[in-house]
Amino acid sequence: MSIKTEIERLRNELPEGVTLLAVSKFHPVEALREAYDAGQRAFGESRPQELKLKAETLPRDIEWHMIGHLQTNKVKQIVSEVSMIQSLDSLKLAKEISKRSSEKGVVTPCLVEVNIGDEESKTGLELSSLEELLCQVAELDGVSVQGLMTIPPICDSEKELDKYFSKMQKIFVDIKDKKLDNINMCILSMGMSSDYESAVRNGSTLVRVGSSIFGARMY
C-alpha cells in the first residue's frame, strides 16, 4: 500500500476532530515529501538534529512535532522550528523551553507527557506530580500547555489497553474541568499504528501513526 493510499485511508477512518500526526522519524525526506504531496502537513520527529535538517529541506507550511524525549541541551535547536513539543515531562525542561522561547520571542505549545503505566523504562511524568507541574509551568513565559500525551504499556488484550486509555481520558477531562490558569486542555495525544482505534474510542484527539504510513523505520 502506498503512502498516499494509507494517508487517505486513515483520514477517512478517523472521526472529525482527530488529528493525524505522521511519525516520520528515521524515514527519508523522499518519503515525507510523498506524504506531503498526499496532503499531510503534521509530522512527528524524535531527534532535534533530524527534525531541524528536515525542516530546512521541506516546505515551510509543515507542522513539526517533537515527540521523543527531549534533553534540555537540545531545546535551543528546535525552539521556533516546532509547532509543538509533545514530551514535556519536568520543570527543568519547561524552564529551558521558556528561556529559549523567550530569547527568540516565541511561545512554544507543549503537551505534558504522562507515564500512565508507571513504567520505570519509560519517560513521562508520574500522575501524582501532574497537577503540581501544570501549576508551575503555568507561571512560565514562552510555554503554553495545550494538553497531555501518553504511551500506554504493552497490553495482552484490548480490554487492558482500553483501561489505560480510558484512565488517561478521565484525567484529561478532570484537569480541563478544574480550569487551571494558563493551562489549556484541548489536545489529548494517544494512540499509534497498533492501537489508535482504541485510543480514539477513548477520547484521543491526536494519533501518532508511523509504520502504517511509512513502513519499517530505516535506522
Confidence of residue 218 (pLDDT cuts 50, 70, 90): low
Single-letter amino acid, residue 87: S
CA-wise closest residue to 85 among 143, 28, 124, 131: 143
**Residue 188 to residue 173: CA distance in whole angstroms:** 10
Considering the chain, what percentage of its residues have pLDDT values greater than 70?
Answer: 99
Q: What angle do helix axes 29-37 and 48-57 make, rounded to 10 degrees?
A: 50
Q: Tell how many helices (H) and how many strands (E) occur in the chain.
A: 9, 8
Taking residues 168-185, report their average pLDDT: 95
Q: What is the pLDDT of residue 184?
A: 95
Considering the chain, what percentage of its residues have pLDDT values greater than 90?
Answer: 91
Specify the 3-state DSSP secondary structure of 86.
strand
Q: Is 182 left (phi over 0), alpha (psi -120 to 50) or beta?
A: left
Q: Residue 105 class from Cβ within 10 Å (0-12 exposed, 13-18 middle, 19+ buried)?
A: exposed
pLDDT tens by residue, 120-166: 888 899 999 999 999 999 999 999 999 999 999 998 899 999 999 99
pLDDT tens by residue, 36-93: 999 999 999 999 999 999 999 999 999 999 999 999 999 999 999 999 999 999 999 9
